[in-house]
A = this chain, B = another copy of it.
């Protein structure tokens, strides 16, 4: 079963409309800026597919999980389909869902740097081929200069 969005790839506004229609940050936040949605997407990127496994991994109440999975399907981030075994339903990332990898990596790297005390250990995202931790994301110009909030600004298109 696929949603119209998952088929067409067109974005689906949330039921109450977009908070700030011309802003891509706000649209992204309208779609995924929710604690449980972000953690469901984290686990989906890690390979979780069944309701039971999401529930076990997150420890979230079933009614909340049901609601968030339905929203993510309605918005075209997950696709609900019958597992190859034919025995159960599973939730699989769509293309736009998969591309949230960068957002999840950005959250992870910020968390590693700013949400742990010196003595605390945390999980690490590792390159399958080399076994090395994934290098830090850098916002940079094509010549390699680092870009920050201090040397960039937002322009509204006409």
Contact = CB atoms under 8 A, between A and B. Distances in A.
A16 to B, nearest CB: 11
Given A34-B33, A115-B31, A122 B22 contact: yes
SS class, residues of chain A in contact with chain B: mixed
Given A34-B33, A126-B153, A151-B128, A109 B10 contact: no
A137 B139 contact: yes
A99 B123 contact: no
Nearest to A118: B10
B123 A152 contact: no
A121 to B, nearest CB: 4
A110 B94 CA distance: 14
A29 interface: yes
Interface residues of A, number: 77
Contacts of A140: 135
A142 interface: yes
A62 to B, nearest CB: 16
Interface string A1-32: 00000000011000000011011111111111
A100 B31 CA distance: 19
A61 interface: no
Interface stretch (A37-45, A66-74, A83-91): A37-45
